Amino acid sequence: MNANVYTYTLGKMTKMILAPVGPLQYFLNSPGLPHIYSLEQAYRLLEQDNKHQVTQLFEDYHTYLKKGLLWADRGWKNVCHYYSINEKQGSVRWPDAAAECQYYFNKAMSLFTKETVKGMFYLGAALHLVQDMCVPHHSNGVVFDGHLEFEKWAANNWYRFPSQFGLYPRFNHPVQWIDHNAKLSASLYPLVSLENGCTNETYTKAAETLIPLSIATTAGFLDFTYQKLAETFPHHSSIGIIPKSV
């Protein structure tokens, strides 16, 4: 069996096995507010950066993007929301954030011209993974050690750390966004680790980078998706997927 297919199958089986103990998950997860905050502030950055058509498209489907953002953490789907580096080409590994993001993005792209609402829902799920990589626990593959505590602190202090502009690197694949954010956030892990004695001061130092990164790359990922839609469906502006002026 192809390694990528095996990896995806392993992820599906794991989520099914864990489903009966789903209520326990709510004691391990923080609320999804930071994901929503990032999305809402990303619209402001896109407008500020003169990407008005991008803002218009995704704000029109905000409800469904938001549902996808929140759904991505339910039913133990988040067991695959951690970053790992595949050092050996073709080797089988635990399904990680990169594989999940690519899967949801591909599903979104396949649905946009048929069921746009569902496409936006799965795009929200893909975006969730990009945002998760701005948390050092996710980028280092650590489930506990202050993970929940830092995410709750970030939700309560979110608006202290605005982003000044969006990030728009010339990426070709969703996985590049996962790699980008994971590599930037991973080194900040000691600042948010209970074992390393994290404090309000170290949280603040980490958040000065991590929260603006989440907002800026949310804007960037939406712009990236917009460009992919324009390239993939150049003749579908009439059905409302892409504004006619693209």
Residue 157 confidence (pLDDT): 98
Average pLDDT, consecutive stretches of 10 residues, N- to C-terminus, the chain (246 residues): 39 41 45 92 98 97 97 67 52 67 97 95 98 94 89 97 97 97 97 96 98 99 97 69 48
What is the set of domains in the chain, with CATH numbers?
30-74+94-232 (1.10.575.10)
User: Is 95:83 a contact under the CB 8 Å cutoff?
Assistant: no
For 103, residues 6+ apart whose C-beta sits below 8 A from its C-beta are: 8
Q: Which one, of 6, 175, 33, lies nearest residue 105 by Cα?
A: 175
Residue 73 has a pLDDT of 84
Q: Which two tokens stand for residue 79?
A: 């067991």
Element (DSSP H or E) covering residue 171: none
Which pLDDT value is given to residue 52? 97
* The pLDDT value given to residue 92: 36
- Taking Cα atoms as reference points, which of 177, 180, 182 lies closest to residue 223? 177
Q: Looking at residue 1, what is its pLDDT?
A: 41
Please report the pLDDT score of residue 240 as a whole number.
59
The pTM score is 0.83
Confidence (pLDDT) at 141: 87
Tell me the C-alpha distance between 117 and 226, whole Å: 15
Asked if 71 and 121 touch (Cβ cutoff 8 Å), the reply is yes
pLDDT of residue 95: 57
Contact assessment for residue 109 and residue 232, using Cβ atoms and an 8 Å cutoff: yes
Per-residue pLDDT of 141-179, as tens digits, reads: 888 899 899 999 999 999 999 999 999 999 999 999 999
Q: What is the dihedral of CA 129, 134, 136, 139, to 10 degrees?
A: 40
Give the DSSP letter of residue 211.
Answer: H
